Structure 1
Amino acid sequence: MNLAWEQPWYRDFLNKSELVFCDGFGVLLGANLFGHGLKSEHRMTFADFIEDWILACERQNISVFLLAGKPGITDKAIAKFKAIAPNLQIQGHHGYFDKSGAENDAVIAKINNFKPGILFVGFGMPIQERWILDNLEQVETGVFVPMGACLDFYTDTVARGPRWMTDRGLEWLARLYFEPRRLWQRYILGNPLFLYRVLKQGIFNRQPSYD
């Protein structure tokens, strides 16, 4: 939400997407402050339902391409997916490549050769969204799905935090503990900034109009 506030192109990306998931307790809080009445069950965290999605793809014969993570992560994820969905059509490539030029073209050629029904892209925000926009017309797939660090969590490469924290709005604290150098700005500075913006918008919307 802070990115959407600060970067118009990212805000447009969210607003023009066909489907946007509520994956954070901060979004739930902000929505409720504006009277939308969302509950915790409305929160859909990718890491919690990725296996259900994969099983649905197998049942409906929808192919999947994973473009995410450090080298080796997609291989681990594919092995886990094939263990529960042996008939799934799936390929992958790591996310550590030059996002322009010849290397990018080679990755796109690999995706297009497979022609996946769904392309999962996990570079982290907002790099993954920028890549999707920049390559939207070149990539042959039915659906683009930004997935963030989902595969890192799914393959146990990065610790996510215990369930009692993730279910109570404290996942950010666990992630900050495990990756303080990378995430301190997002949470230490970003959380209060997000709350301030929500409260400011709420106060502004409640002010009477004198027109």
Structure 2
Amino acid sequence: MGSTIQKYPEIKLLHTRFHQITCCELLDYITDVAKQRKKTVVGNVNIRAMNFAYTQPWFQDFINTSDLVFCDGFGVLLASRLSGYKLESKHRTTCADYLDKLAKACEKESLSLYLLAGKPGVVDRAIAKLSIVAPNLKIGGHHGYFEKEGHENEAIVAEINQFKPDILYVGFGMPIQERWILDNMHKIDTRVFLPLGACLDFYTGTLPRAPKWITDSGLEWLARLLTEPRRLWVRYVIGNPLFFYRIFKDILSERLRALMQRPVSL
């Protein structure tokens, strides 16, 4: 972790940064760095990530020191536009939408992929589905329901190292997956760490996903809230307005600061 990507413009909201990058550019970047010897972290941000970064310094540091960070949330895209950045819909990449493309790109470049995510059975269904899309892809995986420290964790690390994946997909949900990567990346033999949340659940149909016209219009959060209201109401009913309150407060502060710095004509 550490080097920023000069090729892609950097967006900064509430002192947390990500890159202006399209899905195709993201896939090219992942496959390129997967061929290099150094370890690379590719993060992503949505409103939940931004809220974590605002209140948890270690998480903000994880995002700000990741080698590349892409936008995975319509709310962050909208906030960027309100803040004066010229982002388009193409600069938002949802993980469940590009997993097939990632598998095909890995197959084409002879790169291996390891999935560490989901409940028992979800990874098996994802591997079966991806093997149809990319039949020559070297792919392995393990579910994400294990103790994240101690003997069980060490056994999982050993299993990953035996596979030696070029790309390691980690999907425990935020911020558990990011904390796990920080705690374990020094002992894992892989080149790219890719934290992707609940992507496999949507990809395999374990969790229902809203129709494309809803996801494209920025209302996927509402569909998820209606599907899992007890679990997600705090994240969306409180988290979304809180994020935009912070954004508008920041915009207002910047405008007042600019006004105060304007020279006074006598």
Q: Normalising to structure 1: TM-score of the pair?
A: 0.98
Q: Using the alignment, how far apart are the partners of 1:72 and 1:16 within structure 2?
A: 33
SS at match of 2:170: strand
Q: Which structure features the higher share of strand residues?
A: 2
- 2:201 corresponds to which residue? 152
* Equivalent of residue 206 in structure 1, options 232, 236, 255: 255
Q: Using the alignment, how far apart are the partners of 2:260 and 2:163 within structure 1?
A: 56
SS at match of 1:137: helix
1:175-200 Cα deviation digits (max 9, x unpaired) = 11111111111000000000000000
Size of the alignment, in residue pairs? 211
Q: Are residues 1:91 and 2:140 paired?
A: yes
- 2:66 corresponds to which residue? 17
| Matched-pair identity in % | 61
Q: Normalising to structure 2: TM-score of the pair?
A: 0.78
- The root-mean-square deviation of aligned C-alpha atoms, in Å, is 1.0
Q: Are residues 1:71 and 2:110 paired?
A: no
Structure 1 residue 40, shift from structure 2 partner: 1.2
- 2:84 corresponds to which residue? 35
- 2:221 corresponds to which residue? 172
Q: Using the alignment, how far apart are the partners of 1:181 and 1:134 within structure 2?
A: 30
Q: Using the alignment, how far apart are the partners of 1:210 and 1:18 within structure 2?
A: 35
1:162-186 Cα deviation digits (max 9, x unpaired) = 1111010000001111111111110
Alignment of 1:44-123 (within 5 A): 44-123=93-172
Equivalent residue letter for 1:189: I
SS at match of 1:136: helix
- 2:37 corresponds to which residue? none
Structure 1 residue 210, shift from structure 2 partner: 5.0
Q: Which stretch has the larger CA shift, 185-194 or 14-23?
A: 14-23
Q: Using the alignment, how far apart are the partners of 1:54 and 1:92 within structure 2?
A: 14
1:25-44 Cα deviation digits (max 9, x unpaired) = 11011111111111112111
Q: Using the alignment, how far apart are the partners of 1:118 and 1:67 within structure 2?
A: 11
Q: Using the alignment, how far apart are the partners of 2:216 and 2:164 within structure 1?
A: 36
Kindly report structure 1 stretches of 4+ aligned residues shifted beyond 4 Å. Answer: none
